Amino acid sequence: MAELDGKMNAATFVSKLKDVGIYAVAFDTYLVRFVTHLDITDQHLDVLKSKLRF
């Protein structure tokens, strides 16, 4: 789960994530749910961070 700072609501954030190939669920107005696999690596996290720059 990730709580947003209020600058963008969860629905908008999830839509922007989907545009870059990341899937998540708006759980509440400012709360986003991510589901990951057990074998996620630092390299996967680096890709995620680079895609979150919008």
| Residues contacting 18, CB < 8 A, separation 6+ | none
Q: Whole-prediction pTM value?
A: 0.82
Amino acid type, 4: L
Q: Are 4 and 10 in contact (CB under 8 A)?
A: yes
Write out pLDDT tens, residues 16-29: 999 999 999 999 99
Write out pLDDT tens, residues 3-53: 999 999 999 999 999 999 999 999 999 999 998 889 999 999 999 999 988
Across-strand partners of 19? none
Return the pLDDT at 54.
75
Residue 45: give the domain boundaries.
2-51
Q: Are 27 and 14 in contact (CB under 8 A)?
A: no
Return the pLDDT at 9.
98
Q: Which residues of 7-17 are buried (b: 16+ CB within 10 A; e: fewer)?
A: eebbeebbeeb
Domain count of the fold of the chain: 1
